[in-house]
Each structure stands twice: as structure tokens, then as C-alpha cells.
Amino acid sequence: MSESAVTLSFWENDVAVLSIDLPGKGANVLSTAVLDELAGHLDALEKRSDLAGLVIRSGKPGTFLAGADLREFVSSLGAAKDVIAAMCRRGQTLFQRLSRCPFVTVAAIDGVCLGGGAELAMWCDRRVMATSPKTQFGLPEVKLGLFPGWGGTARLPRIAGLGNAVEMITGGESIAADAAMALGLADDVTSAEKLDAAALAVVRDEQQTRKYVEDRRRWSGPISISETELAFLGATASGFIQQQTKGHYPAPLAALEVLLEGAAMDADAACEAEAAGMAELFGSPVNAALLNVFFLADRNKKDTGVANDVVPREVKHVGVIGAGIMGSGIAAACVRRELPTTITDAAAEALARSTKLVLEEVSYNKLTKATDVQRTLKFAPLLNATTSDVELAAADVVIEAVVENASVKRQVFGRIEGKMRDDAILASNTSTIPIAKLAEGLKRPELFCGIHFFNPVRKMPLVEVIRGPKTSDATIATAVALAKRIGKSPIVVNDGPGFLVNRLLLPYMNEAVELLLDGAKVEHIEKSAKSFGMPMGPLTLFDVVGLDTAVNAGLVMHEAFPERTVVSSVLPTLMKAGRLGQKSLAGFFRYKHATARGERDEEFDRLIGPLLREPKKLSRDDLTNRLFLPMVLEATRILEENIVRDVRDVDLGLIYGIGFPPFKGGLLFWADTLGAAKIVEMLQPLSSLGERMQPTAMLLEMAKSGKRFYDR
């Protein structure tokens, strides 16, 4: 590093201040160079006998320390266990110095304080935090397949209590300043403007009382807890973790073991146990996969959606056409981010329902778990519900969210386009219909694109921004910026049937039906998908999506790819019997109410029985291969057709769009762990099923050359 990241100053003659400000970066991370700088400053300061205290703060307003430099982590993934343990011990030893300086140490935290940054702050004697919404304190390492490795598992339970430490470390969630204060992690909370003064006041108070000296002694020893309490905590926490992770994520249970083991040790021994435990997790397949997901998300945050330096237009007003579930969800997403929104529908009753849904959603207070009247009063003026198309004239972007029918959508566009400003963007929330088809007849196709949200909008982070053949870069850049403004993760997709996610999802769902017809039991199909890591089985997914919706999407795909889209009578048979999925309380399963767990019923067996073919002998591996290999094959076709700009868009799209298991790193990351040659071998017994199971030219070339998807 050519420029210093850690600067030393003095607020008063006996109060030293280390300000961390990584040059050229939006956030501070603890790289090796930064840690070396910190060590150098401590070397000098520890020799002084005239200091009352040291304050560590950030030179970047709104962000303290985002944690370790994960790119350095990646470079060490193949290191031996003793090397990883030694890396942890070096960090622990450095941070422990903050709890042994001949003066009080105080962390002044404004903004995010995560991972290694939180560990640094915890090894300080005291912590003061700004009350701004950006201030978050957390140890999210389990989300990367790890647990804290610089003393966090030893230090946190001694400050905040073992039960609280178990919850924070195994859950990986962050807490705000007030919650940190309640746990004893923060010694004072104040406004960001008064944070430095508060830190100085803590130094002066500790200079007089020297309470920190007693805390140092207490926090260095074992934790006072009975064997009965320890056993109860271990049993309850272990059961909860296994229920949440389904055995797919080893880090939370490993963290629990280290926390419980370290409770009976002194802090030094607990740190050694932590380092040894980290060495077991670091570089594991799950760790590598979750690191990949982190970098996928980080890349997406920086992606403007276009290759050129195009400045997106400012969006001050959004219009939404269609007051159904999707339109209401899109409107709520905009209003929540304080973006004025007009929603229109021909039916006044639908608008009334939509207004109620939107305001209920944006007014919900997570803390009280109830509607907040003050939030309602704040957000209500931002929503305009009207049956008049004329009121869309003020919108910078108008998003159509009507029924998934090309003819109906084009009628809406013909009616609306002339009422919009000449520079306003028109977009469709279509999930499968090609943008080129929808753009037929538009006067300004360069200002038209797809902005496809996923259901339910409030929960699903993904948005597909679809580029039509005539869509301009400025339109795409503006759509991407809008999606990010309302808290979504947009992926730019070139035009084509099904776009990205649905094109990959439909082969998976299609194959589930084929497996059923080949004699696989419903419960075995569902279990196979869930064992792989999917959030729900494919047949349950049919019921959630709606069988009628799935049929419409399937028809689009069959029209485009008839040679590999199998048509069966299963869905039409169920639909004819009034079984549309959860919304009709019956589909592949029967439901007591719309949100109940699905149950098998005899009526389903009666309807499907005549359709079944001669049963095949199918192992669990057969089920898994038939469900997921068609997705890999379809992904190769998507890459061959340049539907996406990067293979990483495929992986993030499926993780965010359908819940593809993050612990596998993404569809193509998982495929790379198998290798193209192995996948070709796995496909050989399935070749009789036709083109949908036959290797593509890309896959065969990769098998021959040894290249990976992530090499592209």
C-alpha cells in the first residue's frame, strides 16, 4: 500500500487516536497491510507511559470496519491446516494486545462493524456506538461457512454472555447500537456527531475508575456457568441449528462446539481452540461455495448493467399498471424506498385492495411486528391509486404488471405509450414472453425493456432486466439503477423465451413430472430436491406457482424449444379437476388453507394413476441427476446464445431467484466441482430420454479441454 491506511493523532496530549481510512476504498477492510500498520502503531504506543487511553475510529463516515479482506482469504483456500491455525493465532495475538495495553482502549463505532472489525472492537476495553441506522454490529462468518477466527468466540461470550454469543455467532445476524447496549457490547450510544466526544469521555471516566482493569481480569478467565446450564444450552442450540440448516451448513454447529468448549477454558486456551476449529472449516467445499456467493453478490452491487459509461436517468416517479399481487408488490417496493408511485387498474375494487396491501406492507414495523401508524402517515402520500391512465404522465418509468398474455400486454402498451412523456421508460414485468414480441408496434422501442420481479416481491431479491433488440444502453442502465434503489439485485439478460431463471427452472420442473410418470413416488422426488438443498420440492413449487401459470409458461417454452420440452397430460388433468395449486387448496397436494403444509390425498392418486408409465427402477442419484443435469445443459445453451454477459449471472440469478442452495455456490460453480467430463459421464445412462439429456457442444468441448465454466 503506497498510502497509509492507519493514521495516528492526539485529541489531547494523553489520548491517542488511530483513524482507519483505507485509501481509494468505500469501506475499510482488515487486509494484511492494514493489520501490519496497526501492529506498528501499537509497538510505538505501548512503550509510552504518559497515555491515558487509545481510541480506534474510522476515517470513513458511516462505516467502521467491514471485516477481513476476503480476497486474501481466497488466496489461502488451499493452505494446510497448521498454516490456517497460525493465521488465526497471528490475528488473535494482535487484537489481544488491545486488551493488554498500559492504558484503556476504546472503539468508536459509526456504521458497519462486522466480522474481523467486530472482533477488533471487542478486544478493545470499551465500545461506543453511533445511533445511526447504518450502525450494525455482527459476526456473519457462518454465512461464509466459517466462524470468527480472531478471538470472537472467546471474547464475545465473556462480554455479552454465552447464550447471547451462541445466538449471534451461530445465527450470523447483526444488531443495532441499542441492542448492543442492552447486551453490554456497547458502553455508550450517541449520535454520530457526538461519537468522538463520547469516546473521549469514556477514556476520562476509565482513567478515574479503572473499571476496565477488573474487566480485563474477569474476561481473561473461564466463564462462570454450571454444567447443567451448559448442557441445556448445548442441547437446545444444537437442535435449533440442525432444524435451520438441515445439515447442509457445518459452520454453526462447529461454532457452537467451540463456544461450549471454550467456556470452561481461560481466554488464551479458548483462542487456541478457536484457531484449531477454524482450520477444520477453512477451505472446505461449503466455505469455498459461500465465498463464491459473497463475490457474486459483491460483483452485482458494482455492476451498472452496461459495458459503456452510461449515466442512468434519475427516476423521481414510478408508474405501475395492474393492481394484482405483482403490481401491488412492485408498488410497495417503490413506496418503501420513498419513491412516489402511481398504480392504475381498470377495476376500482382491485385498486382498493391493492392500496390496502401496499400500505399494510410498507407500514409494518419489524420491531413491534405490527402496523405502525406513523409509518402509514409517512408513506401514504407517496402512493396514488387511480383508474385514470392520464395520471401516469408524470412517471419516469412505467412498469406493466398485468396478466401474462402477449396480446393483452400489447393492448395496454398501445393505450399507455401515447400518454407517457417522450423520454419515459416503459417496462414489462413479463416472466417468459420475449421483449421483441411485446415491443411490436411501439413507437419508442429503445425506451422499452423487461423489469421482471419475482413473487413475492417483498422477499425475493432478484430482478431480471431484459434487453430487447432495440433497447438502448441508457434504458438498461436506468432500469438497473432503479432496481438497486428499491433494494433489489438486478441481472441484465438478453431477450429470449423464459429469459434466464424461468428458462432454467422449467426443465427442472418438467423433469419432476416425467419422474412421476416413470414411477417415482411424490415424496421421493420432493426429498431428493430438498436433500440437494432446494428450499422446496419441485411438485410443491408447482402448487406455489399455480398449475395454470406453469402451463402458460410451459407453452411459451414448448413453442420455442419443442425438441426438449416434454408435453404431458398431468397438469391439464389436475387443472380439469379444479386443482390449481395452493390458491385452490389442491394441486399435487391438498391444503387445509392457503399457507398450510401440503398433504397427499387419494384423489390425486386416482387422477394420476391412469397416466403412469411402466415404472422404472430409480435410485436417489437417478432422481438428483434427472432433476439438476437438465438445468446445467440449459445453462450451456444460455451461454452459447449470449443470453447473459457472464456465467456468474447464471449462478446469482438462480440463488436469488429460486433459492438454489448457496452452499453449492451456484449451479455452474457446482457443475465445476463435478467437472464437465464427469457430467458427460453422468448423462450417458440418460441419453435415451432424448435431446433434453444429451450433452451440448459446449459441454463436450469443455470435457475434452478440461475447462471450467468459471474459466469463461
Report d(CA 13, CA 671) in Å as an integer.
60
Report d(CA 633, CA 681) in Å as an integer.
13
DSSP class of 391: G
- Type of residue numbered 80: A
- Sign of the C-alpha dihedral, residues 688, 499, 484, 302? positive
Report d(CA 265, CA 270) in Å as an integer.
6
C-alpha cell at 245: 440448516
Strand partners, 435: none
Residue whose C-alpha cell is 447464550: 163
C-alpha cell at 545: 406457482
- Residues 544, 422: contact at Cβ < 8 Å? no
- For the chain, give me the number of helices (H) and strands (E)? 30, 19
- Residues 522, 588: contact at Cβ < 8 Å? yes
Report d(CA 34, CA 561) in Å as an integer.
54
Compute, in degrees rounded to 10, the torsion defined by CA atoms 22, 28, 29, 33. 20
- Sign of the C-alpha dihedral, residues 99, 125, 106, 171? positive
String of DSSP letters for 76-101 = TTT--HHHHHHHHHHHHHHHHGGGTS
DSSP class of 576: H
C-alpha cell at 424: 419515459
- Residues 73, 115: contact at Cβ < 8 Å? no
- Type of residue numbered 76: S
Spatial CA neighbour of 351 closest among 313, 397, 307, 389: 389
Report d(CA 80, CA 67) in Å as an integer.
23
Provide the 3-class DSSP secondary structure of residue 262.
helix
CA angle 118, 292, 149 (to 5 degrees): 30
- Residues 652, 672: contact at Cβ < 8 Å? no
Q: Where is 112: in which H helix or E strand? A: strand 112-114
Spatial CA neighbour of 77 closest among 291, 271, 299, 258: 291
Q: How many CA atoms lie within 13 A of 619 on its CB side?
A: 4
Q: How many other β-carbons are positioned within 10 Å of the β-carbon of residue 595?
A: 7
Residue whose C-alpha cell is 467445499: 285
Annotated active-site residue in 41, 248, 317, 452: 452
Pairing of strands 6-12, 15-20: antiparallel
C-alpha cell at 144: 461464509
Rounded to 10°, the helix 620-640/697-705 angle is 100
Report d(CA 553, CA 549) in Å as an integer.
6
Spatial CA neighbour of 330 closest among 320, 317, 340, 315: 320
Alpha helices in 126-186 (DSSP H): 152-160, 162-171, 177-183
Alpha helices in 486-546 (DSSP H): 501-517, 522-532, 538-545
- Residues 385, 332: contact at Cβ < 8 Å? no
452 is known as an active-site residue: yes
Spatial CA neighbour of 543 closest among 577, 588, 574: 588
**What's phi and psi for 56, nearest 5 deg?**
-105, 125
- Type of residue numbered 620: R
Report d(CA 177, CA 633) in Å as an integer.
48
Residues annotated as part of the active site: 452
